[in-house]
């Protein structure tokens, strides 16, 4: 990112304490260090900015950096601005901060207790949101059901960790008191509105430009916005542009992971496995602050709490608890992994307890193919699908029979082998009104309706017939430019190479709306449709101009090979560039009903995204794809390591615009999901320190950990999008942990599967907790000790397997 | 061996992709920062600065090394190759071609490092097996692709190299 020659560089001092009062900060020695231009600390930030607004009604004190108190390890405490990054980092050591440590809360359960240490004393509790929902008549369904089956599941914090960190370059124009920022922000742009507010300027005095390329995000680069505020203030203070690049240690400590959710899920079940009612009690931990758009994960999936199943009676309780951990941010899947790990694990449990096949329970409850569009109990309007057919195809083409055979053989040989299944409804394009479901009805009425999701794209043709496309989707490697070129080329009879696509976004002059950005799998089902509609308008206009000069009707014209030609008379043809030229060079000769120039911006909004109803029903997303996964796993009896023998995933993502790009997205999501399920653990020690602060501690999967996978597709177009597309790309973040979890449960005959499923945890199940080392190495290890250990293992193995028999 | 003083700037001259290049570096300046900020070759990316992710991999005197774990002054007088030097401007190396064919690139942040490691490995082991290539790629982190298509691209090149070697 090229910057002006006089640019300064920022480094951030971060809290070493999980919870402490800041008694004093002395930056005088730091200011004296070579190259240092300025230091920003809490009091100044408090004087120059406003705190961030919070999504729930709770007095949470949230500033761009710590004011008076730190609440998690890694929280920004001061910013140093210097001639280069080396100098800025050198001077961090010279800032003297006096802290008074406070008691900490790390565990969501204990933080939720009334006697817990308060993160924000003004809130009077660490539970900052508690709301219940009821659809149908769950109480009677539970009272009358032949079976009640429940599970408590936990989905821990995981991180998406894009390879490139956050980057902010900010400049301040003192004459106009306006800010100009370049940052690899990913949206949703609705969140961006909080930044000028915090900077105390009008929205039109804050300009954000996004770069042409960004090194991955997966949700992560939403949480860059507090840093925009910090770096803007640093630029204002120094009167020079300031650049800050987040390093890996900062990213791991403070960029924010997904939330930690504890769900108590219970189903009322008929003898044949039909789920008559569902009760979900979620306690979700968000760290020290609740930053926009939190608590998104708790509500994004609200409409599809019942997944792919036709469950009509539903009760939900949503609670949010704060702890002394880094504030939660966006991650791939956003709420989906948590919902489906609970629901799909429960389906497996129902099968075990009722002695049914997991697939039979799944099939018994699936929404029938002729029921679409289908309104779920909580209000989602599932657009289309044929779940039964997708499952049948996957079983057949994915070779379930072969895996079952392998399981049989393995078990005969005394090995631990299991098969797991999971399915999910994968949301695409979030309803901008879904988060208002968290407000009680009266509060919603007062705030006014929130709904919809506007997708924006512009197609322009210049006087020489050259086509340019711009969009609001700020991609980070998903190939949006390729797809936009393809869509527009198809409409205008050109080749993708003829189309120039620019996906940088400049909020001061490009077309965008609050739903802009690259999140919630919105590109294919939103932005791509806006581009398609904009290209359609251009086509119509060109056809009308060509029709006039060719003396034919515009309906009889087709676009092919850079020409506009009559379908009936091959002599009537004009090159596209000639027609485009007329629109620019001779606007006076255009018919009255045609506007001059050739630039069309479409802001497309789907009507299906309505606000929450009086009964709290909400259509959380526009499109709902279907995913069905199964896998075979083998567990090493000695090490407890889980090896995925084969993983099969079937996706119905509506009409696929570019199958190769979809395939890339599925592989990418799978890679991240294997990590989340088996390796990644965003761990804090009992003292509140982050244990996984480097890539050597936070274990991301490498090429060595990727098992054999098979990808399958079905295409059921969405009736709600002009192109028939749905959102794709997040799905396996949602299904894979549940699918592997179910396979491990099947292999070991266990009820609860802890995430991540590490060898240590499985070995503890297989062999019991590790024994303490012998008291003194000097005392020779007696044979009796070894024998005791072995006996202990044997009895544990017996326990484990007698447990399997009992089931 | 020259004696370098901390806090002083030194002139470092090396060969970057076949051409002499000179810039200033303190004794502590990382090779990655020197290449990117001083010499302006920003194709080399930095993903962790602690030697794990591999994004910063370049070749120094033929060997693939982590430029974030190398000091600029250590590379003085060396042949340094970066992703910009893999193929003449406007063309792609066979490995880059294979990455394109197999959709092995998404955001492209990890790609230069992986290309440098694989180029080095395939040059010295043209008969590499899938497992060996997986291990080489295993020295890098990619968050976008899930690796499957990267492995496919590498295997494709190894197959082509093997076939080319067999041809009389
Ligand atoms: S940046 Fe050098 S290994 Fe990650
Ligand atoms: S392609 Fe994005 S990190 Fe590898």
Of B106, B138, B151, the CB nearest to A477: B106
Q: Same domain for A270 and A370? A: yes
Question: Chain B interface, mutation test: which of A649, A703, A706, most B Cβ atoms within 10 Å?
Answer: A703
Looking at A254, A272, A287, the residue that finishes a domain is A254
Task: Name the closest-CA residue to atom 3, ligand 1.
Answer: B51
**CATH class of this structure's domain B9-86:** alpha beta
Q: Same domain for A292 and A361? A: yes
- Any CB–CB contact under 8 A between B135 and chain A? yes
Q: Give me the residues of A, 447-486, that contact B with CB < 8 A.
A: 476-479
CB contact under 8 A, B55 and A671: no
Q: Same domain for A298 and A228? A: no
Question: How far are the Cα atoms of A479, A501, A726 from residue A523, in angstroms, in the given order?
Answer: 10, 15, 9
- Catalogue the E-assigned strands of A66-143: 69-70, 76-82, 96-101, 127-135
pLDDT given at position A777: 55
Ligand 1 pocket: which residues have CB below 6 Å? B 46-49, 51-56, 66, 68
Q: Same domain for A236 and A267? A: no
CA A668–ligand 2 middle distance (angstroms): 9
Q: Same domain for A81 and A202? A: yes
Closest chain A residue to the Cα of B150, Cα to Cα: A703
Structural domain total, chain A: 3
Closest chain B residue to the Cα of A245, Cα to Cα: B46
Listed residue (A692, A690, A684) closest to A106, CA to CA: A684
Half-sphere exposure of A687 (CA within 13 A, CB side): 5
Residue B160 beta carbon below 6 angstroms from any ligand 2 atom? no
Q: Same domain for A660 and A755? A: yes
Mean pLDDT of chain B: 96
User: What are the b/e assignments for A766-782, b being 16+ CB within 10 Å?
Assistant: bbbeeeeeeeeeeeeee
Residues of B in contact with A661 (CB under 8 A): 103
CA B160–ligand 1 middle distance (angstroms): 30
The atom of ligand 1 lying closest to the CA of B141 is 4
Question: Chain B interface, mutation test: which of A161, A162, A215, most B Cβ atoms within 10 Å?
Answer: A215
> How far does B7 lie from chain A, in Å, by closest CA?
10
Q: Same domain for A645 and A741? A: yes
Of A160, A478, A664, the CB nearest to B143: A160
Q: Give me the residues of B, 85-124, that contact A with CB < 8 A.
A: 103, 105-110
pLDDT given at position A268: 98
pLDDT given at position A776: 63
Q: Same domain for A249 and A286? A: no
Indicate which CATH number applies to the domain containing A709: 3.30.365.10
Contact assessment for residue A89 and residue A245, using Cβ atoms and an 8 Å cutoff: no
pLDDT given at position B7: 82
Residue B108 beta carbon below 6 angstroms from any ligand 2 atom? yes
Judge whether A190 lies within some domain. Answer: yes
Cα A639 to Cα A642: distance, rounded to the nearest angstrom: 9
Q: Residue B25 — pLDDT band, cuts 50, 70, 90?
A: very high
Q: Same domain for A563 and A638? A: no
Q: Give me the residues of A, 186-245, that contact B with CB < 8 A.
A: 213-216, 218
Judge whether A658 lies within some domain. Answer: yes
- Any CB–CB contact under 8 A between B57 and chain A? no
Cα A85 to Cα A243: distance, rounded to the nearest angstrom: 9
Indicate which CATH number applies to the domain containing A248: 3.90.1170.50
Residues of A in contact with B151 (CB under 8 A): 703, 706
Question: How far are the Cα atoms of A8, A346, A428, A678 from residue A306, in angstroms, in the given order?
Answer: 52, 12, 17, 26
> How far does B141 lie from chain A, in Å, by closest CA?
6
Per-residue model confidence as pLDDT tens digits over A721-756: 999 999 999 999 999 999 999 999 999 999 999 999
Residues of B in contact with A674 (CB under 8 A): 146
Per-residue model confidence as pLDDT tens digits over A633-660: 999 999 999 999 999 999 999 999 999 9
Q: Count the helix, strand and coil residues of chain B and give each as a percent rounded to the nearest 5.
A: 40, 15, 45
Question: How far are the Cα atoms of A37, A648, A743, A747, A806 from residue A410, in angstroms, in the given order?
Answer: 67, 19, 14, 10, 21
Q: Where are the domains of chain B?
A: 9-86, 94-163
Please state the three-class secondary structure of B39-63 as a single string. Answer: CCCCCCCCCCCCCCCCCCEEEECCE
Listed residue (A468, A490, A493) closest to A481, CA to CA: A468
Judge whether A111 lies within some domain. Answer: no
Query: So what's the ipTM on this one?
Result: 0.97
Question: Chain A interface, mutation test: which of B6, B146, B149, B150, most A Cβ atoms within 10 Å?
Answer: B146
Looking at A219, A254, A289, the residue that finishes a domain is A254
> How far does A667 lie from chain B, in Å, by closest CA?
5
DSSP A532-564: HHHHHHHHHHHHHHHHHHHTS-GGGEEEETTEE
CA B48–ligand 2 middle distance (angstroms): 14
Domain that holds residue A21: 8-102+160-254
Determine what percent of chain B is predicted with pLDDT higher than 90.
Answer: 92
Q: Same domain for A459 and A502? A: yes
Per-residue model confidence as pLDDT tens digits over B86-133: 999 999 999 999 999 999 999 999 999 999 999 999 999 999 999 999
CA B51–ligand 1 middle distance (angstroms): 4
CB contact under 8 A, B108 and A247: no
Eight-class DSSP state of A772: P
pLDDT given at position A796: 39
CB contact under 8 A, A672 and B146: yes
> How far does B149 lie from chain A, in Å, by closest CA?
8
Question: Would you mind telling me the total number of residues written for chain A in this entry?
Answer: 807
Task: Name the closest-CA residue to atom 4, ligand 2.
Answer: B142
Average pLDDT over residues B12-41: 97
Residue B105 beta carbon below 6 angstroms from any ligand 2 atom? yes
Which token pair is A639? 């090490």
Q: Same domain for A242 and A170? A: yes
Q: Give me the residues of A, 710-769, that contact B with CB < 8 A.
A: none
Helical pair B111-124 and B148-166, crossing angle rounded to 10 deg: 30
Residue A703 beta carbon below 6 angstroms from any ligand 2 atom? no
Burial category of A121 from C-beta neighbours within 10 Å (exposed 0-12, middle 13-18, buried 19 and up): exposed
Q: Which residues of chain A have pLDDT under 50?
A: 779-807
CB contact under 8 A, B109 and A660: no
- Any CB–CB contact under 8 A between A694 and chain B? yes
DSSP A387-435: HHHHHHHHHHHHTHHHHHHHHHHHHHTT-EEEEEEEEEEEEEEE-TTGG
Q: Same domain for A20 and A165? A: yes
Looking at A554, A578, A603, the residue that finishes a domain is A603
Q: Residue B1 — pLDDT band, cuts 50, 70, 90?
A: low
**Sign of CA pseudo-dihedral A532, A534, A540, A546:** negative
CB contact under 8 A, A248 and B141: no
DSSP A624-649: EEEEEEEEEEEE-TTT--EEEEEEEE
The 3-state DSSP class for residue A457 equals strand
CA B28–ligand 1 middle distance (angstroms): 16
* CATH code given to domain B94-163: 1.10.150.120
Which token pair is A443? 């509060």
State how beta strands A167-173 and A275-285 pair: unpaired
Per-residue model confidence as pLDDT tens digits over A424-453: 999 999 999 999 999 999 999 999 999 999
CA B48–ligand 1 middle distance (angstroms): 5
Cα A28 to Cα A43: distance, rounded to the nearest angstrom: 15
């Amino acid at each position: 990112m090229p910057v002006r020659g006089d640019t300064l560089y920022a480094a951030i001092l971060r809290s070493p304490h999980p919870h402490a009062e800041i008694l004093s900060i002395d930056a005088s020695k730091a200011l004296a260090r070579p190259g240092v231009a300025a230091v920003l600390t809490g009091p100044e930030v408090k004087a120059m900015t406003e705190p961030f607004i919070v999504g729930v009604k709770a007095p949470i004190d949230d500033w761009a950096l710590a004011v008076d108190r730190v609440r998690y390890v890694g929280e920004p405490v001061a910013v140093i601005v210097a001639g280069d990054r080396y100098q800025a980092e050198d001077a961090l050591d010279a800032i003297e901060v006096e802290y008074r440590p406070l008691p900490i809360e790390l565990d969501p359960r204990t933080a939720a207790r009334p006697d817990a240490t308060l993160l924000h004393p003004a809130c009077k509790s660490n539970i900052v949101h508690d709301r219940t929902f009821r659809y149908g008549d769950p109480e009677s369904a539970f009272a009358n059901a032949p079976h009640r089956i429940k599970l408590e599941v936990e989905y821990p914090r995981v991180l998406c960790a894009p390879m490139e960190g956050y980057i902010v370059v900010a400049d301040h124009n003192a004459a106009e008191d306006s800010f100009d920022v370049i940052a690899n922000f990913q949206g949703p742009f609705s969140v961006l509105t909080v930044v000028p507010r915090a900077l105390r300027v009008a929205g039109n005095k804050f300009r954000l430009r996004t770069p042409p390329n960004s090194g991955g995000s997966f949700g992560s680069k939403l949480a860059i916005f507090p840093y925009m505020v910090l770096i803007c203030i640093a630029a204002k203070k120094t009167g020079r542009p300031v650049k800050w690049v987040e390093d890996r240690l900062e990213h791991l400590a403070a960029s924010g992971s997904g939330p930690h959710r504890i769900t108590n899920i219970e189903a009322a079940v008929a003898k044949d496995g039909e789920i008559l009612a569902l009760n979900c009690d979620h306690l979700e931990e968000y760290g020290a602050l609740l930053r926009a758009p939190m608590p998104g994960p708790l509500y994004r999936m609200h409409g599809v709490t019942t997944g792919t199943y036709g469950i009509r009676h539903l009760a939900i309780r949503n609670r949010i608890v704060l702890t002394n951990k880094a504030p939660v941010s966006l991650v791939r899947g956003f709420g989906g992994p948590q919902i489906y790990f609970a629901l799909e694990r429960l389906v497996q449990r129902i099968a075990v307890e009722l002695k049914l096949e997991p697939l039979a329970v799944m099939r018994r409850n699936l929404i029938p193919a002729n029921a679409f569009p289908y309104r779920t109990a909580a209000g989602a309007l599932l657009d289309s699908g044929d779940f039964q057919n997708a499952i049948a195809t996957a079983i057949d083409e994915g070779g379930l029979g072969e895996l079952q055979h392998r399981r049989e053989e393995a078990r005969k040989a005394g090995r631990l082998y299991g098969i797991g299944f999971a399915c999910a409804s994968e949301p695409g394009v979030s309803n901008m009104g879904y988060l208002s479901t968290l407000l009680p009805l009266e509060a919603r009425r007062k705030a006014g309706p929130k709904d919809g999701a506007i997708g924006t794209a512009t197609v322009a043709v210049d006087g020489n017939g050259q086509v340019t496309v711009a969009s609001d989707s700020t991609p980070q490697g998903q190939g949006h430019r390729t797809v936009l070129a393809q869509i527009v080329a198809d409409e205008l009879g050109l080749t993708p190479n003829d189309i120039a696509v620019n996906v940088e976004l400049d909020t001061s002059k490009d077309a965008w709306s609050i739903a802009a950005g690259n999140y919630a799998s919105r590109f294919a089902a939103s932005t791509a449709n806006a581009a398609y509609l904009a290209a359609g308008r251009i086509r119509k206009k060109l056809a009308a101009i060509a029709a006039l000069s060719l003396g034919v009707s515009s309906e009889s014209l087709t676009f092919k090979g850079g020409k506009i030609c009559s379908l009936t008379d091959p002599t009537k043809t004009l090159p596209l560039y000639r027609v485009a030229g007329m629109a620019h060079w001779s606007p006076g000769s255009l018919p009255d009903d045609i506007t001059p120039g050739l630039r069309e911006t479409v802001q497309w909004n789907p009507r299906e995204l309505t606000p929450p109803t009086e009964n709290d029903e909400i259509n959380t997303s526009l499109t709902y794809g279907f995913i069905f996964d199964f896998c075979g796993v083998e567990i090493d009896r000695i090490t407890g390591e889980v090896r995925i023998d084969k993983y099969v995933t079937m996706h119905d993502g509506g009409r696929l615009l570019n199958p190769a790009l979809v395939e890339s997205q599925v592989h990418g999501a799978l890679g991240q999901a294997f990590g989340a399920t088996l390796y990644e653990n965003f761990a804090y020690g009992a003292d509140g320190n982050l244990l996984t602060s480097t890539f050597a501690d936070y274990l991301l999967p490498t090429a060595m950990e990727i098992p054999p996978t098979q990808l399958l597709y079905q295409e059921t177009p969405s009736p709600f999008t002009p192109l028939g597309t749905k959102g794709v790309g997040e799905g396996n973040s949602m299904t894979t942990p549940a699918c592997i979890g179910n396979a491990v449960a099947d292999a070991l005959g266990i009820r609860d599967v802890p995430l991540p499923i590490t060898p240590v945890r499985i070995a503890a199940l297989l062999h019991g907790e590790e024994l303490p080392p012998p008291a003194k190495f000097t005392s020779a290890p007696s044979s009796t000790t070894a024998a005791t250990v072995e006996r202990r293992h044997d009895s544990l193995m017996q326990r484990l397997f007698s447990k399997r028999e009992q089931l | 061996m020259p004696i370098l003083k901390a806090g002083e700037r030194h002139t470092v001259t090396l060969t970057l992709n076949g051409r002499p290049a000179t810039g200033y570096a303190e004794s502590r300046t990382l090779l990655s920062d020197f290449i990117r900020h001083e010499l302006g070759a920003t194709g080399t990316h930095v993903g962790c600065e602690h030697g794990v992710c591999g994004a910063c991999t370049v070749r120094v005197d033929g060997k693939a090394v982590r430029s974030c774990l190398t000091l600029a002054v250590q590379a003085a007088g060396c042949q340094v190759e970066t992703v910009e030097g893999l193929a003449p401007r406007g063309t792609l190396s066979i490995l880059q071609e294979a990455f394109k064919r197999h959709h092995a690139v998404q955001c492209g942040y990890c790609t230069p490092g992986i290309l440098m490691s694989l180029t080095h490995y395939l040059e010295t082991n043209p008969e590499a097996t899938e497992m060996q290539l997986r291990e080489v790629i295993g020295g890098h982190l990619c968050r976008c692709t899930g690796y499957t298509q990267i492995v496919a691209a590498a295997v494709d090149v190894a197959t082509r190299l093997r076939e080319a070697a067999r041809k009389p």
